[in-house]
């Protein structure tokens, strides 16, 4: 498919002066909040979202529990405060146990769980034990790989071709695939690399529309290898004229990550198209609505889409060569969105909340987790702040 980046709206081409001091203050604020929240969550897992601002303690069962150790490790990376080192290690133990017990792991979100726990631990501490957990988790994720046509299935029984998830893959998986690329580098096992590469290439060829808008669901025929995109199934509004905000953001970040491991230019070209579509469909405060179909200011934002996209834009800005016209444009866009998060959506000292960012959305269509902090939005927010603070080491 020929994917063509849209021309960016004029405002993204203008220089932007952002509030660096506020970003630094926000990073310190986030680290303080994480330390406070560790009083409840040091050896526990938070719920997906924070109704009334409070994450509840849950069993290590959800696809989202890795974001909490990711926050703790980010705080450690940014501050070097040893309390976060101890907290991160406690979390690694929880994720080691989940892997040993094979507890609720028959799904593609193993990447979210283990990149931000075991791989983060290894990245910052060099722990061999953590590295081995990350590698074992990658091989667990490989059990979801379909050689024909080369996709990671979102979940379900791989032996049962009548399972409703047979051949189904989703754009969200672009952030699970980095665990395979990472483990391929660690082990030299090309099977891991090939699975990740094939999944990403099939995603680019099928679930990104020519204008750069993503479709969340791809459905592969695992016998003959054909793939169709299904825009009627989506966590967004659905339909070819819409793009689920967070799904678009998963692609904004997932594509440059794939490029960083493979150096295949198809991932950079596709990233430019999804980035430009994303940036051209934002409301006036630059923070995405829950679906990019809606660009009006009165619509519900999803701040998690914004924080994910900031990380992706900063990543691609780092990867692009200096003579690429988008290098500065994407960095400025990231800073502009981050500035808006800092000014308009960050929680405040004295507010009765455990969250870092208000106005996130889990599932708009079912009314679940709407207009509240989300643990993944909070994670990507601190990752973004850490990226611009300096000394950042990527966990993906």
CB count within 10 Å of CB 15 equals 6
In whole angstroms, what is the distance from residue 6 CA to residue 271 CA? 12
Min CB(172)–ligand GLY separation in Å: 4
109 is catalytic: yes
Min CB(246)–ligand GLY separation in Å: 5
Min CB(212)–ligand GLY separation in Å: 19
Closest CA to 279 of 14, 17, 6: 6
Min CB(16)–ligand GLY separation in Å: 28
* CB-nearer residue toward ligand GLY: 235 or 275: 235
Q: What angle do CA 318, 311, 373 make, to 5 degrees?
A: 170
Among 37, 121, 172, 378, the active-site one is 172
Do 325 and 13 touch, CB atoms closer than 8 A?
no
358 is catalytic: no
* CB-nearer residue toward ligand GLY: 156 or 225: 156
* CB-nearer residue toward ligand GLY: 8 or 208: 208
Contacts of 168 (CB under 8 A, 6+ apart): 153, 154, 156, 217, 218, 219, 220
* CB-nearer residue toward ligand GLY: 78 or 116: 116
Among 109, 121, 286, 302, the active-site one is 109
* CB-nearer residue toward ligand GLY: 319 or 356: 356
Min CB(244)–ligand GLY separation in Å: 9
Phi, psi angle pair for 394, to nearest 5°? -75, 140
Binding site for ligand GLY (CB under 6 A): 172, 235, 246
Question: CB burial class (10 A; 0-12, 13-18, 19+) of residue 173?
Answer: buried
Residue nearest ligand GLY, CB atom distance: 172
CA-CA-CA-CA torsion for 288, 294, 295, 299, nearest 10 degrees?
Answer: -70
Indicate the helix (H) or strand (E) that contains 266.
helix 265-280
Catalytic site positions = 109, 172
């Amino acid at each position: 498919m020929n994917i063509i980046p849209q021309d960016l709206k004029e405002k993204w081409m203008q220089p932007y002066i952002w509030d660096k001091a506020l970003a630094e203050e926000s990073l310190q604020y986030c680290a303080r909040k994480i330390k406070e929240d560790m009083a409840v969550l040091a050896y526990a897992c938070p719920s997906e979202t924070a109704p009334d601002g409070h994450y509840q303690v849950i069993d290590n069962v959800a696809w989202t529990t890795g974001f909490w150790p990711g926050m703790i490790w980010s705080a450690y990376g940014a501050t070097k405060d040893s309390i976060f080192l101890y907290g991160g290690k406690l979390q690694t133990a929880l994720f080691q146990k989940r892997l040993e017990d094979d507890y609720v792991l028959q799904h593609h979100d193993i990447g979210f769980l283990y990149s931000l726990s075991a791989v983060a631990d290894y990245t910052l501490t060099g722990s061999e034990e953590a590295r081995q957990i990350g590698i074992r988790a990658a091989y667990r994720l490989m059990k979801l790989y379909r050689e024909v046509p080369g996709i990671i299935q979102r979940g379900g029984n791989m032996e049962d071709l009548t399972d409703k998830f047979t051949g189904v893959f989703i754009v969200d998986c672009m952030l699970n695939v980095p665990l395979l690329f990472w483990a391929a580098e660690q082990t030299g096992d090309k099977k891991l690399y090939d699975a990740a590469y094939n999944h990403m290439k099939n995603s680019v060829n099928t679930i990104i529309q020519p204008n750069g808008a993503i479709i969340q669901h791809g459905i592969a025929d695992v016998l003959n290898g054909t793939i169709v995109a299904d825009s009627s199934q989506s966590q967004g509004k659905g339909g070819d004229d819409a793009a689920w905000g967070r799904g678009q953001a998963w692609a904004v970040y997932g594509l440059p990550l794939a490029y960083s491991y493979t150096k295949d230019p198809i991932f950079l070209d596709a990233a430019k198209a999804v980035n430009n579509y994303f940036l051209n469909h934002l409301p006036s405060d630059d923070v995405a609505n829950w679906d990019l179909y809606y660009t009006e200011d009165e619509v519900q934002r999803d701040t998690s889409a914004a924080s994910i996209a900031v990380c992706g834009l900063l990543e691609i800005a780092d990867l692009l060569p200096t003579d690429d016209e988008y290098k500065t444009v994407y960095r400025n866009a990231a800073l502009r969105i981050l500035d808006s998060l800092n000014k308009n959506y960050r929680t405040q000292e004295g507010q009765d909340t455990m969250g870092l960012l208000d106005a996130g959305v889990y599932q708009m269509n079912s009314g679940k987790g709407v207009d509240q902090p989300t643990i993944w939005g909070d994670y990507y927010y601190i990752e973004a702040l850490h990226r611009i603070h300096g000394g950042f080491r990527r966990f993906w």
